[in-house]
Amino acid sequence: MSNDRTQDFYDEFWPKNVPHYDETKKYMLDTITGRSYKQAMDGGCGHGICSVVLSELAEKVFAVDVSKNCVDTARRQAAEFKRTNIEFSVQDLQELDAPTGQFDLVWCWGVAMMAPDPIKVMNHLMRVTRPGGEVYLGLYLKTWLSPVHQGVRYFCRAFMNTTRRKKFVLDGFAKLTNVIVKLRGKEINVRADNVSIQAQVDDWYYPPYKTFYSIEEIIALFERNGFIAECIQDRLGRMKSATIFVVRGVKKP
Ligand SMILES: C[S@@+](CC[C@H](N)C(=O)[O-])C[C@H]1O[C@@H](n2cnc3c(N)ncnc32)[C@H](O)[C@@H]1O
195 and 228 share one domain: no
- Which of 1, 10, 125 is the pocket-test mutation for ligand 1 (most atoms within 8 Å of CB)? 10
Spatial separation of the C-alpha atoms in residues 72 and 116, rounded to whole Å: 23
Select from 138, 123, 141 the least CA-distant residue to 227.
Answer: 123
Residues 19, 50 within the same domain: yes
The verdict on 177 and 218 lying in the same domain is no
Q: What is the C-alpha separation between 2 and 148, in angstroms, rounded?
A: 26
* Cβ atoms of residues 55 and 61 within 8 Å: yes
Instruction: Give the number of residues written for the chain.
Output: 253
Give the three-class secondary structure for 8: helix
Mean pLDDT in order along the chain per 10 residues (253 residues)? 71 74 93 97 96 98 94 94 97 97 97 95 98 97 89 92 90 84 67 68 87 96 98 71 85 95
Ligand 1 and 156: CB distance under 6 A: no
Q: Indicate whether residue 48 lines ligand 1 (CB < 6 A).
A: no
The answer to whether residues 33 and 57 belong to one domain is yes
The CA R_g of the chain, rounded to the nearest whole Å, is: 18
Handedness of CA 18, 83, 53, 249 (dihedral sign): positive
Element (H, E) at 90: strand 86-90
d(CA 118, CA 112): 5
Query: With a threshold of 0.75, does the pTM exceed it?
Result: yes
CATH code, 78:
3.40.50.150
Domain coverage including residue 198: 146-205
pLDDT score, position 18: 77
d(C-alpha 243, C-alpha 132), whole Å:
29
pLDDT at residue 145, rounded to an integer:
86
Query: What is the predicted pLDDT for the residue at 174?
Result: 83
Report the domain count for the chain.
2
39 and 71 fall within a common domain: yes
